[in-house]
Amino acid sequence: MKELAYLNKFFLKYKWKLLPGVVFVIISNFFAVIPAQIIRIAFDLVNENIALYRLFNGFDKQALILDIFGSSLLFFGGLVIVIALIRGLFLFFMRQTIILTSRHIEFDLKNEIYQQYQKLSLAFYRRNNTGDLMNRVTEDVSRVRMYVGPAIMYTINTSILFVLIIIAMLNVNVKLALYCLAPLPLLAITIYYVNNIINHKSEKIQKRLSTLSSFVQETFSGIRVIKSYVREENIREGFAKESEAYKSESLSLVRVQAFFFPTMLLMVGLSTIITVYIGGIQVINGKISSGNIAEFIVYVNQLTFPVTSLGWVTSLIQRAAASQKRINQFLKIKPEISNPNPNPLKVNGTIAFENVSFTYPDTGIQALKNISFDIKEGQLLAIIGRTGSGKSTIANLVMRMYDVDKGAIRIDGTDIKYLNLEDYRSQTGFVPQEVFLFSDTIARNIAFGQDKLDMQQVEQAAKDAAVYKNIIAFDKKFETFIGERGITLSGGQKQRVSIARAIIKSPQILIFDDCLSAVDTKTEEEILNSLGKVMKGKTSIIIAHRVSTIKNADKIIVLDNGEIVEQGTHDILMDKKGVYFELYEKQLLEEQQELS
């Protein structure tokens, strides 16, 4: 429960919205108790008037008495309706204040969680799966909202109504009051337990449903693979199995619910029978009037919903506490990478790695071992090496997606850990190996890093990335919408849009992580030529597999198993006749074979 204390700051923030809500609850409940008393008066009136009416049997005045009697009953009926309307009005105000506040708190909490998401480093995202992360912002927050809204509202409502009704009941007859109230705790406990069963089953259904949706989603994404391997029938069977499991969980929930409502009605009926029986005895003994029985029946029925909500609210609070616990744990996580320096930064582009070693925290794989190299401002560094040799890791470290374990990375002489991170990243262009494009237009994808969309700049960036001609060939040109993973673009086009996105901001440091792998050698040459102009005066790092891509670099690093095995210019490395030379010869041979 103490986990929910975290939310108190929100209650304090919205106190002027919540307090009127509480006042409205009190007023509405006050009007809720009055009708029962009016009904008693009306009942007693009926009793007395029937006696009076019989007294005038055979007289002319009897019709007049019937008239007076009828109109006074009508008056009481009208009064009950008016009071119910006033109560309804205050109930409306109550919901408008308390439930509305809960939506504000939900909004604030979602924003807080989302901000924390943005602060957390890449390693965090590797450790947690997307479904879990999504759940915190959706499922968990909505459960917490059920606490800050409905749970609190019903608790206040129930408590006040309870007090008012019990006082009214005790005022009439203590014995009858105690008998009427006796089955209610039983009802509350039953509802609490049944509700827990329902929640438990609903959660299971929810899980089944997400497994089912992930299954369907994956089969849709991998439809090409499924069709080429003729696995349709197999997948259909898998789906039927998942669906069957979902159906049986749902049916089991329906069974509990089917039992739940009749039981509730039975308990309420029991209370009513007790009221009539005990109340009847009291009337016979002359302790209460028959109007009091009617009054009590109204009270008992009025208490049913609050008692039901008591069980419901208890399980709501329990669920909210569990969700808030998860949220609190996550909000407490300190981002591994943070911005230590608020001072504005101007990057020149000198990069130095000094004895850098790095192990991925999530897998424990040592990706870099004692790496040292430097690049001067405006130079082009190329990194080549076998797959898994640590090339992308160097790019990740230059972007400070992770911090190094040993050694240091210096940018313009300062350790990267002490730079203004936001300024540094905004002056660095990164084209990752795995292209990610947003479900948006091509123009907005290219201008993603810009605050304002400048079409001239977008077009220039597209030209520099050699993708302009492809884009204007589309009907909607730069306004072409690309799906979640850019489904309307080919692999090579996606890579070039991703390059355009990096170069549009004219960064001082540019990193291309194997981003020309999906284009042919001719396009590669075209891109490299135009990039040559863009990269003039900027420091660039190109990670590649093809020697042809990097021949002109100022420095080439050959990586193997996380270590630098050779470094120098193309000519120096060729003279060495080592790993690089072998790679070059091999690739040359392959190209010649392809041509012949």
Ligand X SMILES: Nc1ncnc2c1ncn2[C@@H]1O[C@H](COP(=O)(O)OP(=O)(O)OP(=O)(O)O)[C@@H](O)[C@H]1O
- Residues near ligand X (CB under 6 A) are 126, 360, 362-363, 365, 367, 385, 387-393, 433, 514
In sequence order, the 6+-apart residues with CB closer than 8 A to the CB of 480 are 441, 442, 471, 474, 488
Q: Which is nearer to ligand X, 67 or 362 (CB)?
A: 362
Shortest Cβ 201–ligand X spacing (Å): 38
End-to-end alpha-carbon separation of the chain, Å? 75
505 by Cβ neighbours in 10 Å (0-12 / 13-18 / 19+) ranks as middle
- Total Cβ atoms within 10 A of residue 101: 23
Q: Which is nearer to ligand X, 314 or 549 (CB)?
A: 549
Provide the token pair at 447.
């201008």
Please name every residue paired with 469 in a beta bridge, in sequence order, or none if there are none.
none
Task: Please tell me the distance from the alpha carbon of residue 497 to that of residue 480, in angstroms, as a whole number.
Answer: 12
In the complex, what is the shortest distance from the CB of residue 362 to ligand X, in angstroms, rounded to a whole number?
Answer: 5
CB of 391 to ligand X, least distance (A): 4
Rounded least distance, CB 152 to ligand X, Å? 43
The CB-of-594 to ligand X minimum distance in angstroms stands at 21
For 38, 65, 277, 496, the CA distances from 73, given in Å and listed in that order, are 10, 12, 26, 83
Residue 540: partners with Cβ closer than 8 Å, 6 or more residues away: 379, 380, 381, 509, 510, 511, 512
Residues 6+ apart with CB under 8 A from 216: 239
Which CB, 162 or 402, lies closer to ligand X? 402
The per-residue b/e assignment along 306-342, b for 16 or more CB within 10 angstroms, e otherwise, is: bbbbbbbbbbbbbbbbebbbbbeebeeeeeebeeeee
Residue 339 or 433: which CB sits closer to ligand X? Answer: 433
Instruction: Give whichever of 393 and 508 is closer to ligand X, judged by the CB atom.
Output: 393
192 close to 311: Cβ distance less than 8 angstroms: yes
- State the nearest-atom distance from the C-beta of 356 to ligand X, in Å: 13
Taking the least distance from each CB to ligand X, the nearer of 15 and 126 is 126
Nearer to ligand X (CB atom), residue 71 or residue 363: 363
Q: How far is the CB of 559 from ligand X (least distance, A)?
A: 7
Other C-beta atoms closer than 10 Å to the C-beta of 512 total 28
Q: Give residue for tokens 């995202």.
A: 125
Which is closer to ligand X, CB of 154 or CB of 358?
A: 358
Order across the sheet with 406-411: list the strands: 366-375, 351-359, 406-411, 414-415
- Of 350 and 389, which has the nearer Cβ to ligand X? 389
Give the nearest distance from C-beta 15 to ligand X in angstroms: 46
Phi then psi dihedrals of residue 410, to 5 deg: -115, 135
- 389 versus 441: smaller Cβ distance to ligand X: 389
Contact (Cβ atoms closer than 8 angstroms) between residue 552 and residue 381: no
Quote the least distance from Cβ 558 to ligand X, whole Å: 11
Q: How far is the CB of 547 from ligand X (least distance, A)?
A: 14
